[in-house]
Structure 1
Amino acid sequence: MSTADPLLQPFQLKHLRLKNRIISTSHEPAYSEDGLPKERYRLYHEEKAKGGIAMTMFGGSTLVAPDSPPVFGNLYAGNDKIIPFFQEMADGVHKHGAALMCQITHLGRRSVSNAGDWLPIVAPSCVREEVHRGFPKIMEESDIRRIVKAYGAAAKRCQLGGLDGVEIEAYGHLFDAFWMKRTNFRTDRYGGSLENRVRFSLEVLEEIRKQ
């Protein structure tokens, strides 16, 4: 019988081979500057890579569109400014033999409108968010198409930045708001049945794969 610790054994994740099974999951250390992962943010993750973990996940939660502004110290991947910072971060982590992925999301109603470009927060239905107390604009199909594209564009920026993958945050954010009957009262093809309520999420995944 092998006495090797399974946590220290390599793991194959699709195309990505991890040197062990120890990862640091996505979280928000509030080290971002202007929505970007500058030196302090990069060094924080490099230190974990130096320590021997297989993968560090970051950017909890990195935002994809201007109507989901970085109001909680988030990173913002809604434009190309972030790509060189991703590249520098990827180089710093990869040189220690670790992989890195970024968590991307749209906050939906879990945000505020008096930040960033002062755009209205959006959600599948106008249900007030309990903590931040905003009343969201009901998403039109044009909003849905735009945000689906924004997810794909953000994922592409992660790829161009040399990252090894992306993670999508769902709980409490826009994905979750479409899934739950108590926050989705739509009567179109994005509401009602479970098939309809997961349609937005599946369209996002399809758009990311296209990229």
Structure 2
Amino acid sequence: MSKDPLLQPYQLKHLTLRNRIMTTSHEPAYPEEGMPKERYAAYHAERAKAGVALTMTAGSATVSRDSPPVFNNILAYKDEVVPWIRNLTDQVHEHGAAVMIQLTHLGRRTGWNKGDWLPSVSSSRHREPAHRSFAKLAEDWDIVRILSDFADAADRMKEGGMDGIELQVYGHLMDQFWSPLTNDLDGPYGGQTLDSRLKF
């Protein structure tokens, strides 16, 4: 057995990884109709065969209908994703690797003319610089719904055999709440309220 620290097992909470080599979350744009079908599963199974300990899928899978993907991402808000996720995780596990998925809500980092053509929602009324969308300001009921969407998507991933999830925050909806520069809401979710809570 090699003494190379990179090749030693690693304990990650409940999960024992066979080494310390992993692939990070990224989207190869292989989903078909929003599902990670055979090509997607094979893409990650090959990494497992090659010896990685953990392969991260999706960059990122979307948790809500009003967060349509812009790069042909996995639709984690649909129940029909579960058997496809199960197929993927079974193939990766068969080769001794763990598999996780990255989940997100894009907030204003998408556009209304994608997916079901629903308005994008955000804590910001300002135009998003990369995708150029103007989002609807999130109302309390939007926030409650989106939190539930995250929980439901995580449950689907667990049912599909994923070993864990990663939340994509940077530039996406959760990140938009953190700064008063991108949070125009009033009340408990407002930028000024959060800004005062973060001061030490």
**TM-score class normalised by the smaller sequence:** over 0.9
- In the alignment, the residues of structure 2 paired with residue 162 and residue 173 of structure 1 have an alpha-carbon distance, to the nearest angstrom, of 26
- The one-letter code matched in structure 1 to 2:164 is G
My pick for the range that moved more, 56-65 or 181-190, is 181-190
Of 176-185 and 51-60, more deviation after overlay is shown by 176-185
The residue that corresponds to 2:56 in the other structure is 57
Q: 1:69 Cα shift? A: 1.2
- The amino acid that maps onto 2:74 is L
Aligned to 1:28: 27
Choose 186-195 or 51-60, whichever is displaced more: 186-195
Normalised TM-score (structure 1): 0.89
Question: Which residue number corresponds to residue 81 of structure 2?
Answer: 82
- TM (norm. structure 2) is 0.94
The AA in structure 1 aligned to 2:66 is D
1:1-211 maps to which residues of 2 (within 5 A)? Answer: 4-191=3-190, 192-194=192-194
CA shift in 2, pair 1:156/1:197, >3 Å: farther
The total of aligned residue pairs comes to 196
Is the Cα contact below 8 Å between 2:180 and 2:195 reproduced in 1? no
SS in 2 for 1:7: helix
CA distance in 1, matches of 2:189, 2:151: 19
Q: Distance in 2 between matches of 1:137 and 1:154?
A: 23
Q: How many Å separate the matches in 1 of 2:23 and 2:155?
A: 22
User: For residues 131 and 54 of structure 1, what CA distance do their matches in structure 2 show?
Assistant: 34
- The superposition leaves residues 28-70 of structure 1 with CA deviations (integer Å, 9 ceiling, x where unpaired) of 1111111110111110100000000000001111000000012
Q: 1:44 to 1:108 in 2, by over 3 A?
A: same
Structure 1 residue 194: Cα displacement: 3.5
After superposition, what is the alpha-carbon deviation per residue over 1:124-168, rounded to whole angstroms, capped at 9, x for unaligned? 121110121111000000000000000000000000000100000
Structure 1, unmatched stretches of 5+, are 199-211
Q: What is the Cα deviation at residue 71 of structure 1? A: 2.6
**2:147 partner amino acid:** V
Q: How far off its partner does 1:105 sit?
A: 0.1
**Residue 52 to residue 180, structure 1, CA distance change in 2 (3 Å):** same
| Greater mean alpha carbon deviation, residues 127-136 or residues 49-58 | 127-136
User: Does the CA contact (< 8 Å) of 1:106 and 1:174 recur in 2?
Assistant: yes
Cα 1:197–1:146 shift into 2, 3 Å: farther
RMSD, matched Cα: 1.5
